Amino acid sequence: MRVYIPATFSRLATLHDTGMLPAAGGWGFAATKALHDFFTSGEDEEIEMVAIDEAARAVFRLLQTESDYAPLRRVVIAADLPESQVVPAPEHGEAVVQLSPATVSLDQIACIFIDHEASEPLVEKAIAAIDAADLGDEDAELVVGDALELLMGWYVPAELDDLIATYVTGA
């Protein structure tokens, strides 16, 4: 099952250094049955994009506490996991899944999504606005929405060394 895991550059560094990615709180997002049922129409690819967007939104919360590695960009890891590792948690949202175990190995990573450099100002504003947006503040929702509309770059796992060298170690 394809699962989208919110991440940060510090989590990418952990993946690079240990070959394992801990999912924050053990949570991820997927195109679950509940998500498919929520949308009465739409192609599978469109529903997968909803799960990616939910993971990308969760990154704003991670960046509130894990901004020790610049830049401030969303990172979403797509991993192919056995269904036995993925437990849907629709009570937390249609796309939410609990991972058990809550770590993903490098060989399970399908791809890595990362914001482009130009997105940093909007992501920074969204980090500051996410709490208010979740509480229904319409202006904050617009700020978060602007950041969510940005397209992220797509990288294969073989590019992890270059990503770390460029964005974490500054080599």
Could you please report the per-residue DSSP string of 43-65? -HHHHHHHHHHHHHHHHHHHHHH
Predicted model pTM: 0.93
Sequence-ordered list of residues with C-beta below 8 angstroms from that of 158, at least 6 positions apart, any chain: none
Pairwise CA distance, residues 66 & 107, whole Å: 24
Pairwise CA distance, residues 82 & 107, whole Å: 13
pLDDT tens-digit readout, 49-90:
999 999 999 999 999 887 665 688 999 999 999 999 999 999
168, pLDDT greater than 90: no
Categorize the per-residue pLDDT at 44 as very low, low, confident or very high, splitting at 50, 70 and 90: confident
Pairwise CA distance, residues 94 & 36, whole Å: 8
Pairwise CA distance, residues 91 & 103, whole Å: 22
CB 146 within 8 A of CB 126: yes
